[in-house]
Amino acid sequence: MKVWLLLGLLLVHEALEDVTGQPPPKNKRPKEPGENRIKPANKKVKPKIPKIKDRDSADSTPKTPSIMVQMLDKGRFQKPAATLSLTAGQTLELRCKGNRIGWSYPAYLDTFKDSRLSVKQQERYSQLTLVNSTAADTGEFSCWGQLCNGYICRRDEAKTGSTYIFFTEKGELFVPSPSYFDVVYLNPDRQAVVPCRVTVLSAKVTLHREFPAKEIPANGTDIVYDVKRGFVYLHPHSDHQGVVYCKAEAGGKSQISVKYQLLYVEVPSGPPSTTILASSNKVKGGDDISVLCTVLGEPDVEVEFRWIYPGQKDERPVRIQDTWRLIHRGLAHTTRISQSIMTVEDFETTDAGYYICTAQNLQGQTTVATTVEFS
């Protein structure tokens, strides 16, 4: 009896060990609130990086909306595209929203004070109207708002509009030029443009040298073609000199442009070359004297003058007059001559001494001097 009792106890003990070794049954009890919400500390979580859309990464700068509209027939309006093609003879009407608007348009229209063009400022917009348009009117038309403080105004870059308009005219593939021969200066420190612009956007345009006769390729490195400007020499050098012309082809027709003489100009990278000259270096008392300061330079380089003279400390009255003009030197070469002349009347002993002139441009300044004695 005791043996059977002992054997039964052993069987019960083994059964209990098997039960405690098994995993607990599913859904044994409901989870307490907040249970299992804390993740193990050693578990690595990969941060999520927001994806950037291609259009955002390409240009994150918001584009400024255009303030320009074009008036169509029957009083309809539309925002003009970057380039427009209109038939010569059509009336062009552009409007820009704002109570103070500035305009720019092809210089040809301004140069001759063309009566076909009118600009009127209304209360809420400015209106530009061009009647009886021609191929010569091809070019950029733009407007901008103005921020004014009294009589001083500046351009509001947040309010602008522009469009380039091709006025197509029968028999005119090129924008007409006022002359049959033009000069283009090749400066080594800036781009040069052969301005053969077309009136048809789809025209094929090529550049040619007259002698030796050959086509000059626009390779994109030295020379590029810009439909709004012409052929652009990015890095001009002396080998580019010569006579060139452009050829345009469109709609089965071809046309030759005017000829352009390319002249290489060696521009000194430095201060202006200056000379000074007195009307006389020995002056008697009571006489008048003038001292001339002269600079020869490129047509578009401005020069400023400053003077130091003996009577300055005594506040002697003098007259100073600055002038400039363009002169022709050599074969079709235009030079700017800038001059400053100082005049002293009723010469006195205090006026004798050094007359010093300083000429300055963007590259620097040059100082020259001369002496005037009392005799």
pLDDT score of 331: 46
pLDDT score of 187: 80
pLDDT score of 238: 82
pLDDT score of 37: 47
Tokens of 277: 């000259």
pLDDT score of 358: 95
| Sole residue written with tokens 């039964």 | 8
| Distance (Å, whole) CA 8 – CA 12 | 6
Distance set, CA 59 to CA 81, 93, 339 (Å): 20, 33, 50
Please choose, from the candidates 172, 88, 77, the residue with its C-alpha nearest in 3D space to the C-alpha of residue 131. 88
pLDDT score of 46: 53
Which residues have a Cβ under 8 Å from the Cβ of 285 and sit 6 or more positions away? 347, 348, 349, 374
pLDDT score of 363: 84
One-letter amino acid identity for 294?
Answer: T
HSE (side-chain half, CA atoms, 13 Å) at 162: 14
Query: Average pLDDT of each block of 10 consecutive residues along the chain (375 residues)?
Result: 55 53 51 46 51 46 79 86 93 93 88 83 93 93 91 89 94 86 82 93 94 89 92 90 93 91 71 90 92 86 93 91 79 74 94 94 91 90
